[in-house]
């Protein structure tokens, strides 16, 4: 008898791609037929509501999301302590043009910017100077700015196809406007809302102060009323604007990042992070920003457990606290990861709304980008064709430099995001269930591919 040695050949690349395709199809089937992530979003937005850092609602969201993950039979669920700022808006803001030559007194929609000081209960009234940028402000000088309200009115450049690029080209006036104006003696600031459309809702967002510079009240004004105020100023440069805000900063509060994970079966020390930020602005319900991102991150873990997918590498969902007005959660997470010597190979962030998936953008090496692009054949059938270099995300950004971690941003269609961003209309009803489910499936598919193949 002749002994026969049986040699098991390794699976070919084609066989592996076929296996990946089959698993991804299962992920999409489950994601698109289960309403769990959408119902989780409903509870987060309707029962808990807006979740500004330091608020009772933020604390409730932490405990609720921890319980959701504890009921999923994960390997680990825990809270990570982080001290966060506690800013409160106070009374509904009042914005009003007084005694314009054309229209008399005109009410205008404003919203205090995050971290802004208040005006005092009597409010403040002053003449207005309009500028498009910091260069125009500097040219005016102290003589023309002192004692006035500076009105930053640079609109989005709507020639950009990606609305995030337009946002990036305008948002510096919101973040740095109050300090630049205060240095020239201004008593207040109005900033055109960060939006593509002309609409009647103000978009809040954080601003920054500097030590040694007078803190002056700062508010966003709706794009509709920014247009109207600009028009009125052309006919009456001496009109006065009244603004009343009772916002204030309170002492820091203890809060938490919420973390759940599935341990890898082969390389448990290699971590794939998927997450969003649990906090939101106090206007609206924080549905697109970033309730959808958090519920999609939880859904990634649910899809793995429901389909009995055993990840080769550890998959960790992180719901970060305080992205909106401090980034304390992302910073703390990175500090702890570094102190513990953790090895993150990839971090995926969903913080661009729950809209139709288009792809993923990566901050990584040429080899990592090439690997991401190599998965186009299995991802493109699901609309994920936009795979390449791009911004990872704010909360995962502090991980940069810790080894060779690839920072990956989930990219949904961007055209509607800034209709809702940081406004009272960012509510559950404006999230499409199927689009949100597709996003969760997209993220789970990429997590699966990285878990199987590395990056």
- Order the strands of the 124-131 sheet from edge to edge: 104-108, 94-100, 240-244, 124-131, 149-152, 188-192, 218-221, 110-112
| Distance in angstroms (rounded) separating the CA atoms of residues 166 and 387 | 21
| Distance in angstroms (rounded) separating the CA atoms of residues 332 and 181 | 32
Tokens 């959808």 belong to residue: 292
**Which residue in the list 323, 324, 349, 424 is annotated as catalytic?**
323
- Catalytic site includes residue 429: no
Q: Which helix (H) or strand (E) holds 167?
A: helix 163-168
| Distance in angstroms (rounded) separating the CA atoms of residues 320 and 328 | 9
| Distance in angstroms (rounded) separating the CA atoms of residues 422 and 430 | 13
Residue 402: name the closest of 300, 270, 276 by CA.
270
For residue 65, with 0-12 CB atoms within 10 Å meaning exposed, 13-18 middle and 19 or more buried, which class applies? buried
| DSSP of 122-155 | T-EEEEEEEESSHHHHHHHHHHHHTTSEEEE-PP
For residue 341, with 0-12 CB atoms within 10 Å meaning exposed, 13-18 middle and 19 or more buried, which class applies? exposed
| Distance in angstroms (rounded) separating the CA atoms of residues 237 and 145 | 13
373, 387 Cβ separation under 8 angstroms: yes
Which residues are catalytically annotated? Answer: 323
């Amino acid at each position: 008898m002749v002994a026969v040695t049986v040699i098991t050949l390794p699976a070919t690349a084609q066989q592996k791609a076929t296996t990946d395709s089959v698993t991804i199809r299962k992920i999409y089937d489950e994601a698109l037929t289960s309403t769990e992530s959408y119902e989780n979003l409903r509870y987060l937005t309707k029962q808990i509501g807006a979740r500004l850092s330091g608020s009772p609602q933020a604390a409730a969201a932490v405990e609720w999301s921890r319980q959701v993950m504890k009921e999923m039979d994960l390997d680990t669920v825990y809270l990570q302590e982080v001290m966060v700022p506690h800013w409160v808006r106070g009374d509904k803001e009042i914005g009003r043009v007084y005694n314009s030559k054309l229209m008399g007194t005109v009410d205008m929609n404003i919203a205090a910017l995050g971290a802004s000081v208040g005006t005092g209960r009597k409010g403040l009234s002053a003449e207005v100077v309009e500028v498009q940028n910091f260069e125009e402000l500097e040219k005016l000088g102290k003589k023309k700015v002192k004692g006035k309200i500076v009105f930053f009115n640079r609109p989005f450049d709507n020639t950009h196809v990606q609305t995030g690029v337009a946002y990036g080209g305008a948002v510096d006036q919101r973040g740095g406007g109050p300090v630049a104006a205060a240095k020239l003696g201004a008593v207040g600031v109005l900033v055109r809302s960060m939006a593509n459309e002309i609409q009647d809702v103000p978009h809040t967002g954080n601003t920054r102060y500097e030590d040694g510079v007078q803190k002056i009240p700062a508010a966003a004004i709706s794009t509709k009323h920014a247009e109207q105020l600009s028009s009125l100023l052309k006919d009456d440069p001496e009109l006065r604007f009244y603004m009343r805000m009772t916002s204030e900063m309170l002492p820091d509060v203890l809060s938490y990042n919420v973390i759940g994970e599935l341990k890898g079966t082969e390389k448990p020390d290699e971590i794939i992070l998927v997450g969003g930020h649990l906090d939101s602005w106090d206007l609206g319900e924080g549905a697109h920003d970033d309730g959808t991102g958090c519920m999609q991150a939880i859904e990634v873990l649910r899809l793995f457990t429901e389909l009995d997918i055993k990840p080769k590498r550890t998959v960790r969902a992180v719901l970060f606290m305080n992205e909106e007005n401090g980034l304390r959660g992302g910073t703390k997470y990175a500090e702890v990861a570094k102190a513990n010597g953790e090895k993150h190979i990839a971090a995926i962030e969903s913080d661009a709304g729950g809209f139709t998936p288009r792809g993923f953008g990566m901050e990584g090496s040429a080899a990592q980008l090439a690997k991401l692009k190599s998965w186009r054949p299995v991802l493109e059938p699901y609309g994920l064709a936009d795979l390449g270099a791009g911004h990872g995300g704010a909360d995962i950004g502090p991980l940069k430099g810790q080894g060779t971690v690839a920072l990956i941003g989930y990219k949904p269609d961007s055209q509607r995001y800034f209709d809702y961003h940081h406004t009272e209309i960012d509510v559950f009803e404006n999230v499409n269930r199927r689009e949100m489910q597709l996003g969760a499936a997209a993220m789970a598919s990429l997590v699966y591919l990285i878990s199987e193949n590395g990056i």
